Amino acid sequence: MRYLDKSALGLHEDWYGNNAAICCTSCGKVFLVSAVLHRKGRSCPACGLCSATVTKSQVAITEPTDLPTTKAHP
Ligand SMILES: [Zn+2]
């Protein structure tokens, strides 16, 4: 889990009001997340591995490594 820093947005990140564009940490796809449209967050439309949630005060990005893994070595 990491959070966007409004004062230090990356080259492939943007954040304006209730909307944020983030870069998938898994595949590099840039996708839009809205606090209004995606109340429970949105997964990367390309790979689905990374997801982001916009709230009033922060943009949280969940990476695949954050998810609980049932099997480390399938
Ligand atoms: Zn992706």
Span from the CA of 70 to the centroid of ligand 1 (angstroms): 21
For residue range 23-72, list pLDDT tens digits in order: 999 999 999 999 999 999 999 999 999 999 999 899 999 988 876 656 55
CA-nearest of 17, 9, 57, 13 to 37 is 17
Per-residue pLDDT at 18 exceeds 80 = yes
Contact partners, residue 25, CB within 8 Å, separation at least 6? 50, 61, 63, 64
Per-residue pLDDT at 8 exceeds 90 = yes
d(CA 35, CA 53): 7
For ligand 1, a single-atom ion, the residues with CB < 5 A are 24, 26-27, 29, 44, 46-47
For the whole model, what pTM was predicted? 0.83
Span from the CA of 40 to the centroid of ligand 1 (angstroms): 17
Token readout for 33 is 């997340």
pLDDT at position 69 is 59
